Amino acid sequence: MFRAWIAVGFLAGGPAQAALPLSDVLNRMEQAQKNLTDVRFEFVQRVRQGDFPEQRVAGEVFVKRPGLLRVVQKTPEKQVLISDGTTFWLYAPAQKQQLKGDWKAWLKQSGFPLPLIDFVGTFTPELWRSQYKVMFGGYQEPLYELRFEPLHGGVMPLTLWISEESFLPARGRLQDPGVSVEVLLKGMQPNTELKPSLFVPRVPEGTEEIPVTF
């Protein structure tokens, strides 16, 4: 059996510099997002839920617009998640199995922190402006803290720390009653012309594919 996907975004000191106003930060975020065709980055994720021990996941993410995603989880055990925006494939080498099913239905069940990835490469500014009220949380070089409060139900509050160099997220936190997901994003590489073949599920011969419904 598969283990549940554990869901699958820090600060440096220095001389004080004048922070940009919130409107300028958001405008530069929008421009950075619009300029992306693809992006890859490493992540370290920590999940805290009630009295359970903290869970830690690490790996690498590849995003190609308009809707291709590949997540390679390296720890605690290897898994590879691929989505074309409609279907997902989740491969677990240790079990020699690959799950296949509806992407949106799986997202509702898995707890995967898609908003953190969306803000790196797939959310359009129009979409996140329609879903969140954005508040300025402060500036500590080299990061701006932005707090995204949902305008509608069914969306978790989100805090992002935005790099003043790239104006893309460097760290994020999703907070819900009883659950906290923190993700550190590093090694951001935008627009490296990722090949579409990277997002085609390929598994070793003999792997069992299991259709799933929710």
pLDDT higher than threshold 50 for residue 8: no
Q: How far apart are CA 117 and CA 123, in angstroms?
A: 8
Q: In sequence order, which residues have a C-beta less than 8 Å from that of residue 195 and are 6 or more positions away? A: none
The per-residue pLDDT for 208 is 97
pLDDT digit string, tens, across residues 111-159: 787 777 777 765 556 677 788 899 999 999 999 999 999 998 877 888 9
Q: How many CB atoms lie within 10 A of CB 19?
A: 15
Q: How far apart are CA 39 and CA 154, in angstroms?
A: 27
Query: pLDDT tens-digit profile of 70-94?
Result: 999 999 999 999 999 999 999 999 9
Structural domains of the chain, with CATH: 22-205 (2.50.20.10)
Higher pLDDT, 13 or 86: 86
Cα–Cα distance, 196 to 183 (Å, whole number): 26
17 exposure class (CB count in 10 Å sphere: 0-12, 13-18, 19+): exposed
How far, in Å, CA of 40 to CA of 56, rounded? 20
Q: How far apart are CA 43 and CA 183, in angstroms?
A: 7
Reported as a single tens digit per residue, the pLDDT across 20-69 is 999 999 999 989 988 999 999 999 999 998 888 999 999 999 999 888 99
Any residues with CB less than 8 A from the CB of 169 and at least 6 apart, and which? 9, 116, 119, 120, 160, 161, 162, 163, 185
- Average pLDDT rounded to a whole number, residues 155-166: 91
